[in-house]
Amino acid sequence: MSISHQILIIGGGAAGLATAASLHKRNATLDIAVVEPADKHYYQPGWTMVGAGVFEKSDTCRDMSAVWPAGVKRIKNEVISFDPKQNEVILRDGAIIGYTTLIVAAGLKLDWDAVEGLNDALGQNGVTSNYRYDLAPYTWELVQKMAGKNAIFTQPGMPIKCAGAPQKAMYLSCDHWMKAGKLKDINVSFCNAGPVLFGCAPYVPPLMKYVDKYGINLDFGYNLVKIDGAAKTAWFKVAKEGADPEIIERQFDMIHVCPPQCAPDFIRDSALANAGGWVDVDPATLQHTKFSNIFGLGDVTSTANAKTVAAARKQAPIVAENVIAQLAGRNVAPKYDGYGSCPLTVENGKIILAEFGYGGKVMPTFPWDSTQARRSAWILKKSILPTVYWSAMLKGREWLTRTTV
């Protein structure tokens, strides 16, 4: 006989726990359970700062039990499949869990295996990535000890979580090298599989000022496909307009890799996914397009917003409100406007706080020109947002969550 819960949440990351906490805050009598196998919870936006020597990696990790929302049941297991017609999910151990309402916040998959040789190369021979907790300190070690001539920073095709993260690592590295008098001797390249520096156009000109300041080479259409750490060689599939793709070989002394990303396998293979593999939800209500008692939020959804913690922070209260409305037989409200934020760390001590919604609409939270690099935005990221995350977002305290109706 299967166990059933009124509200079942898949994923105990930022989006899942924030939604659970917001639901419990609204109605403490709700029967809420979250399926999450991990023992640790990570503040992933902090890994950029670890890679620049600003944070210690331990600052970004806590025991899952320490951040678990009050009044929420924990199912320490993994989902392997869904049966939305029967309102059930199947777990790794064969258990079946029923639900009245399902919320999917399963995150995305970092597909390290999509680049030949990458898994074996990481963590040695100058190959690093701030997209892994254990490797962000290695990024800082490489930056400090850099004595070679070639530094490469890669970015795969979209979508990825925090699309600005690959260049954040690059700017902070360049800032350190410039202050140390080394930058003039280092050839820095940004090898981006996409066609533009940043997806929200108003922020490109101020970013280009830093590209020029640091003398960075922009290589668009460069998609990393293979790496040999011992040989310090990377291969890129390069797409040029009007020509067949070609493979170009590049040497490096240091390479920071952002891996290709996709929806988790158990999501892509399910009835919840769209053609691209993401949970198919309405972009404004975050309700599933086929199953009205299913909602999705965070990195796993089909919405066109930036996949950031800031987006999840805005989405969680909206999903909570809409789930409660749906359970009560009321209409759900189309409140989510696509808000996402990317604090672009252009130098140690200054940030361009990119905030934007659907269609690239600039949506600043504060009464300033958000396209300008500011010390105050650095203080926000370094000293305020981590507290907002640990002490507010995961506790159901909905700070910085203003939404539109």
Indicate which residue of 162, 191, 200, 258 is catalytic: 162
Are residues 149 and 7 part of one domain?
A: no
Are residues 59 and 138 part of one domain?
A: no
Name the nearest CA neighbour of 43 among 381, 400, 404, 397: 381
pLDDT digits (tens, 9 = 90+) for 202-211: 999 999 999 9
Are residues 88 and 16 part of one domain?
A: yes
Are residues 118 and 48 part of one domain?
A: no
Question: pLDDT band for position 398 (50/70/90)?
Answer: confident
Are residues 324 and 314 part of one domain?
A: yes
Are residues 256 and 232 part of one domain?
A: yes
Are residues 273 and 248 part of one domain?
A: no
Are residues 98 and 9 part of one domain?
A: yes
C-alpha radius of gyration, the chain, whole number = 21
SS3 355: strand
Q: In this model, does residue 266 exceed pLDDT 70?
A: yes
3-state SS, one letter per residue, for 193-260? CCCCCCCCHHHHHHHHHHHHHHCCEEEECEEEEEEECCCCEEEEEECCCCCCCEEEEEECCEEECCCC
Look at residue 237 and tell me if it is in a domain.
yes
Please tell me the number of Cα atoms within 13 Å of 397 on its side-chain side.
8
Measured torsion, CA atoms of residues 215, 217, 218, 220, in degrees rounded to the nearest 10: 180
Look at residue 185 and tell me if it is in a domain.
yes
| pLDDT score, position 242 | 78
| pLDDT score, position 240 | 79
The answer to whether 130 and 43 have CB atoms below 8 angstroms apart is no
Look at residue 149 and tell me if it is in a domain.
yes
Look at residue 400 and tell me if it is in a domain.
no
Look at residue 201 and tell me if it is in a domain.
yes
Are residues 362 and 272 part of one domain?
A: yes
Look at residue 401 and tell me if it is in a domain.
no
Are residues 257 and 114 part of one domain?
A: yes
Please tell me the number of Cα atoms within 13 Å of 354 on its side-chain side.
26
Look at residue 298 and tell me if it is in a domain.
yes
The answer to whether 82 and 8 have CB atoms below 8 angstroms apart is no
Q: In what order do the strands lie in the sheet with 127-128?
A: 127-128, 254-256, 150-155, 187-192, 217-220
Are residues 183 and 69 part of one domain?
A: no
The answer to whether 143 and 49 have CB atoms below 8 angstroms apart is no
pLDDT average, residue stretch 165-177: 97
Residue 200 is among the residues annotated as catalytic for this protein: no
Average pLDDT, the chain: 95
Q: In this model, does residue 373 exceed pLDDT 50?
A: yes
How far is it, in rounded angstroms, from Cα 300 to Cα 375? 33
pLDDT average, residue stretch 43-54: 97
Range of the domain at 282: 3-108+263-395
pLDDT digits (tens, 9 = 90+) for 141-170: 999 999 989 999 999 999 999 889 999 999
pLDDT digits (tens, 9 = 90+) for 181-226: 999 999 999 999 999 999 999 999 999 999 999 999 999 999 999 9
The number of helix segments (H) and strand segments (E) in the chain equals 11, 21
pLDDT average, residue stretch 255-269: 97
Indicate which residue of 174, 191, 200, 342 is catalytic: 342
Looking at 261, 284, 304, the residue that finishes a domain is: 261
pLDDT average, residue stretch 371-392: 96
Looking at 244, 261, 278, the residue that finishes a domain is: 261
pLDDT digits (tens, 9 = 90+) for 293-335: 999 999 999 999 999 999 999 999 999 999 999 999 999 998 9
Q: Are strands 217-220 and 187-192 parallel, antiparallel or unpaired?
A: parallel
Looking at 219, 243, 261, the residue that finishes a domain is: 261
Residue 162 is among the residues annotated as catalytic for this protein: yes
pLDDT average, residue stretch 263-282: 97
Q: In this model, does residue 405 exceed pLDDT 70?
A: no
Look at residue 349 and tell me if it is in a domain.
yes
- Assign residue 293 the CATH number of its domain: 3.50.50.60
> Is this structure's pTM higher than 0.85?
yes
Q: In this model, does residue 1 exceed pLDDT 60?
A: no
Q: In this model, does residue 275 exceed pLDDT 80?
A: yes
Q: In this model, does residue 86 exceed pLDDT 60?
A: yes
The residue assigned the tokens 């999705």 is 296
pLDDT average, residue stretch 110-139: 98
* Total structural domains within the chain: 2
Are residues 233 and 140 part of one domain?
A: yes
